[in-house]
Amino acid sequence: MAVRTVTLVVDAHHHFWDPAKASYPWMTEALAPIRRRFGPEDLRPLLAANGVDQTILVQTISSLDETREFLAIAAERDFIAGVVGWVDLTAPEVAEQLARLRSRAGGTKLVGIRHQAHDEADPEWLGRKEVRRGVAAVGKAGLTYDILVKTRELPAALAMVRDLPDMKFVIDHLAKPPIASGAIDEWAARLKPLAAYPNVFCKLSGMVTEADWKRWTVRDITPYASRVLEWFGPERCVFGSDWPVCLVAASYAHVIDVCGQVVGDLPSADRERIFGGNAVELYGLSMPVPAAAERGS
């Protein structure tokens, strides 16, 4: 994919972390190759090399401290257009938590909230009264909610979206379909209904890590991505790298190329949306003049 042909390129999903400073329960032994610090100094050269103008930094653990740190990092880096952080959605004072975060340095870059719902023992966690109240508070604050689920939790996600039509949602990583096994029917049956709601977007992210890390091909990924494109349309699909998680299966450049391949021969206006414009709409970004445009490329 010639990403520089797109006027504005936004990587709508990446992370930073430092295992020397925090514990990451999801970072299993299989992820040992990426169990080290990844920060802005690691990502910036990749953005420049691949024509990416802006990014969205996304939470990795259930930690207000991490969210505060991410906002501080974003305050000092122009390339980070927004932060998807974490708050305790079960707490009665979610609105107050959000207000405090927004009052901090970088607080204006808080654009969304996320929780690892797929790690909860209860598949109906998103349907709990206190959680639903917390998600509603996120919407009332004008923020987007990132839905991090697998097939098991999609019915609860659907019920949540149905009950909160006045806020924006985005499904991370295509709801993590079982690409490695090739299974598709149950995932498809549960994800497709969410596309009926115009306030729900879907990230074309995390695909390579749901495939066989060592043997995947674009052909393995395409059936899943093509369905998402059909259901949500190019106006509600959003590119994200999921860097540095993606590194267990592909380089940053390779992930961009794969997304370009699965998108296929869409009109240029649709590619503009997927690789930039939709992220701006989804997260309400105030974007500067794109770096690529400034370069005249």
- Report pLDDT digits (tens) over 147-173: 999 999 999 999 999 999 999 999 999
pLDDT of residue 40: 98
Residues linked to residue 11 through DSSP beta bridges, in sequence order: 55
Q: How many helices (H) and strands (E) does the chain have?
A: 12, 8
Q: How far apart are CA 174 and CA 154, in angstroms?
A: 11
CB of 151 closer than 8 Å to CB of 177? yes
Q: How far apart are CA 203 and CA 239, in angstroms?
A: 6
Tell me the average pLDDT across 13-21: 97
Q: How far apart are CA 230 and CA 269, in angstroms?
A: 16
pLDDT band at 182 (very low <50, low <70, confident <90, very high): very high
DSSP H helices in 170-251:
185-191, 207-210, 218-232
96 has pLDDT over 50: yes
pLDDT digits (tens, 9 = 90+) for 46-68: 999 999 999 999 999 999 999 99
Tell me the average pLDDT across 193-219: 98
Q: How far apart are CA 169 and CA 260, in angstroms?
A: 23
| Helix or strand run (H / E) with residue 145 | strand 144-147
pLDDT of residue 288: 58
Average pLDDT score over the chain? 95
Q: How far apart are CA 116 and CA 71, in angstroms?
A: 19
pLDDT digits (tens, 9 = 90+) for 207-241: 999 999 999 999 999 999 999 999 999 999 999 99
pLDDT of residue 295: 36
Tell me the average pLDDT across 9-34: 96
Tell me the average pLDDT across 179-201: 98
Q: Which residues, in sequence order, are CB contacts of 62 under 8 Å at separation 6+?
A: 86, 88, 115, 116
pLDDT digits (tens, 9 = 90+) for 241-276: 999 999 999 999 999 999 999 998 899 999 999 999
- When computed from its CA atoms, the radius of gyration of the chain, rounded to whole angstroms, is 18
pLDDT band at 5 (very low <50, low <70, confident <90, very high): low
pLDDT of residue 7: 86
pLDDT digits (tens, 9 = 90+) for 101-112: 999 999 999 999
pLDDT band at 92 (very low <50, low <70, confident <90, very high): very high
Of the given ranges (77-81, 134-138, 293-297), which has the lowest mean pLDDT?
Answer: 293-297
Domain chopping of the chain, boundaries = 3-285
- Residue 221 token pair: 């990924």
Helix 94-102 to helix 129-140 angle (10° resolution) is 40
177 has pLDDT over 90: yes
Tell me the average pLDDT across 82-102: 98
Q: Give Dmax (Cα) for the chain.
A: 51
CATH of domain 3-285: 3.20.20.140
pLDDT of residue 296: 35
CB of 71 closer than 8 Å to CB of 104? yes
Say what the pTM is: 0.95
Using alpha carbons, select from 40, 33, 45 the residue that is nearest to residue 17.
40
